[in-house]
Structure 1
Amino acid sequence: MRYYEDIEVGETREFGEYHVTKEEVLEFAGQYDPQPFHTDEAAAEDSAFGELVASGWHTAAMCMRMLVDGPIQDRASMGARGVDELRWKRPVKPGDTLSVRTEIVDKRVSESDPTRGYVDSKLEGINQDGDVVISWIGLGMIARRPDDAEE
Structure 2
Amino acid sequence: MYFEDYEVGQIFDREIESAILTEEEIIENASKYDPRDIHCDKNLAEKSRFKGIISSGIFSIMTFWSKWVKTGIDADGMICGVSIEGAKWLKAVYPNVRYDIKVKIVDKKIRKENIDGFVTYQMTVENPEKDLVLDFLVTGLVKCKRNS
Same fold, TM-score > 0.5, yes or no: yes
The aligned counterpart of 1:118 is 118
In structure 2, how many angstroms separate the alpha carbons of the residues matched to 1:81 and 1:41? 36
TM-score, with normalisation over the residues of structure 1? 0.88
The whole-number CA distance in structure 1 between the counterparts of 2:97 and 2:91 is 12
**Pair 1:7-2:36 in alignment:** no
Once the two structures are TM-superposed, the CA of residue 11 in structure 1 deviates from its matched residue by 0.3
Aligned to 2:18, the other structure's residue is in SS state strand
Q: Is the 8 A contact 1:66 1:99 kept in 2?
A: no
**Structure 2 unpaired stretches of 5+:** none
Cα distance in structure 1, aligned partners of 2:110 and 2:12: 22
- Bigger drift between 127-136 and 58-67 goes to 127-136
Encode CA deviations 1:45-101: one digit per residue, 9 max, x unaligned. 222212111111111111111111125444410111111111111101111112210
Q: Identity of aligned pairs, percent?
A: 25
CA contact (8 A) 1:103 1:123 kept: yes
Letter in 1 for 2:3: Y
The answer for the alignment partner of 2:104 in structure 1 is: 103
Q: SS at the partner of 2:62?
A: helix
CA deviation profile, 1:87-143 (whole Å, cap 9, x unmatched): 1111011111122101111111005x7511111111112222222211111111110
Structure 1 CA distance, aligned partners of 2:45 and 2:101? 27
The answer to whether structure 1 residue 88 and structure 2 residue 93 are counterparts is no
Aligned 8 A contact 1:12 1:101 in 2 = yes
Structure 2 counterpart of 1:130: 130
Match of 1:51, SS? coil
How many residues get paired?
146
Normalized against structure 2, the TM-score is what? 0.90
CA-based RMSD of the aligned residues comes to 1.8
